[in-house]
Structure 1
């Protein structure tokens, strides 16, 4: 009950967190890590709540059927993993964040930021990404316009900008490295599910 009350506060809960992450993501996350952790929603709670919002939007409007198709493949385990990912975005985002964080550590190895701090950053900004996609789902369902590709691009731009702002907002290279790290993290996560599924089925034969 305490967490629910904290999330719904307008001055320091969910809506305050969303506003801060939209206007000054890198700076507010740095302040959260080093100064004040009382005003923003806890990062794990935030990404789970925002992923739930997207899941509900997709449940009502079923837009993923027009973009994603999990078909029967030669690996039933891979199909099962893919179905789990699409049914549990909150937890899947946390796992994917691990892969993205690894790439960020490589690209920004000269910065004095540890893995835990990067994970906090990713939980916040990936949560905003889920809200962008949730908005796309609602607009797609109401208007019939295929907006998911546009909002996916907006999400990638936002993530690159917010992560780059966290590390070094003065350099364009920070934004480019942030975008590359996110893309590689997503690709590595996707590849790992494929390897895990096919590898398990191969061992069981």
Structure 2
């Protein structure tokens, strides 16, 4: 009765059209060529639902847009985990290309220690390092803003977006410093913290001055406890491997 029936290569569901009715996979997969690569790049950079649109919205209305992403519409912005990984990768590439600085974690101990190895890993994997750091900051935000209904994972989503923009701020100043040779990266740190503080306060309650104070303290404590955790973990590894 259905001479053109076939099975989906993704879920094995019986298909008699161009797309699988079960998972949406196309029956005929297009070959990967230059047109495919260009289409994928355009899809990522597309103004609507793309990274450029996401950056614009997070710079103008971070609190409103992130709240809408969490509760109403998750199709307007780039996925938060993807966003922080892409922005961290951008910074890593720029940093390595211009040889700007070692990273945002300053460590002066011996590089052969476990602590030095962990710091080195973080500085070579900013995407994952930022997510882990976001976990620590999220803990303090949850504590300081406990009267709000957001759970820990929703706050972590907030941090992925906010810290992603922070990485772009670092990237911007890294490019300027690399081209001009003027030491401007020291400006990016305070500016990045200022943006993160402002964006987090906007998310919770932009009308209260206390929101900005608590957001700044939570961010600072998150950074401190993240560094302490690295020190403790590295010390434990060193003690057990001696």
- Which band: TM-score by shorter chain? over 0.9
Q: Does 1:50 align with 2:96?
A: no
Structure 1 gaps of 5+ residues are none
Instruction: Give the drift of 1:204.
Output: 2.2
Q: Separation in 2 of the partners of 1:107 and 1:50?
A: 27
Report the counterpart of residue 86 of structure 1 in structure 2: 123
Q: Which of 151, 162, 168 lines up with 2:188 in the alignment?
A: 151
Report the counterpart of residue 224 of structure 2 in structure 1: 187
Q: Separation in 2 of the partners of 1:129 and 1:74?
A: 27
Q: TM-score, normalised on structure 2?
A: 0.80
Q: Deviations over 1:149-183 (max 9, x none)?
A: 21111111110000000000001110111111011
Q: Does 1:177 align with 2:214?
A: yes
1:116-155 matches, cutoff 5 A: 116-155=153-192
Which structure is higher in RCO with an 8 Å CA cutoff and minimum separation 6?
1
Q: Separation in 1 of the partners of 2:119 and 2:151?
A: 30
Q: Does 1:40 align with 2:77?
A: yes
Q: Separation in 1 of the partners of 2:139 and 2:103?
A: 32
Answer whether contact 2:105 2:119 (CA < 8 A) is retained: no
Q: Which of 152, 156, 161 lines up with 1:115 in the alignment?
A: 152
Instruction: Give the drift of 1:116.
Output: 1.2
Q: Separation in 1 of the partners of 2:164 and 2:105?
A: 20
Report the counterpart of residue 104 of structure 1 in structure 2: 141
Q: Separation in 1 of the partners of 2:105 and 2:133?
A: 18
Q: Does 1:166 align with 2:212?
A: no
Instruction: Give the drift of 1:203.
Output: 2.0
Q: Separation in 2 of the partners of 1:66 and 1:158?
A: 19
Question: Per the alignment, in what secondary structure is the counterpart of residue 112 of structure 1?
Answer: coil
Report the counterpart of residue 202 of structure 1 in structure 2: 239
Answer whether contact 1:6 1:41 (CA < 8 A) is retained: no
Query: Residues 52 and 74 (structure 1 numbering): CA distance in 2 closer, same or farther, change over 3 Å?
Result: closer
How many residues matched?
205
Q: Separation in 2 of the partners of 1:162 and 1:94?
A: 17
Instruction: Give the drift of 1:143.
Output: 1.0
Q: Separation in 2 of the partners of 1:168 and 1:4?
A: 36
Question: What value does the CA root-mean-square deviation take over the aligned residues?
Answer: 2.0
Answer whether contact 1:50 1:128 (CA < 8 A) is retained: yes
Instruction: Give the drift of 1:99.
Output: 0.3
Structure 2 gaps of 5+ residues are 1-36
Q: Separation in 2 of the partners of 1:53 and 1:151?
A: 15
Report the counterpart of residue 7 of structure 1 in structure 2: 44
Q: TM-score, normalised on structure 1?
A: 0.94
Instruction: Give the drift of 1:73.
Output: 1.9
Greater shift in the superposed pair: 59-68 or 97-106: 59-68
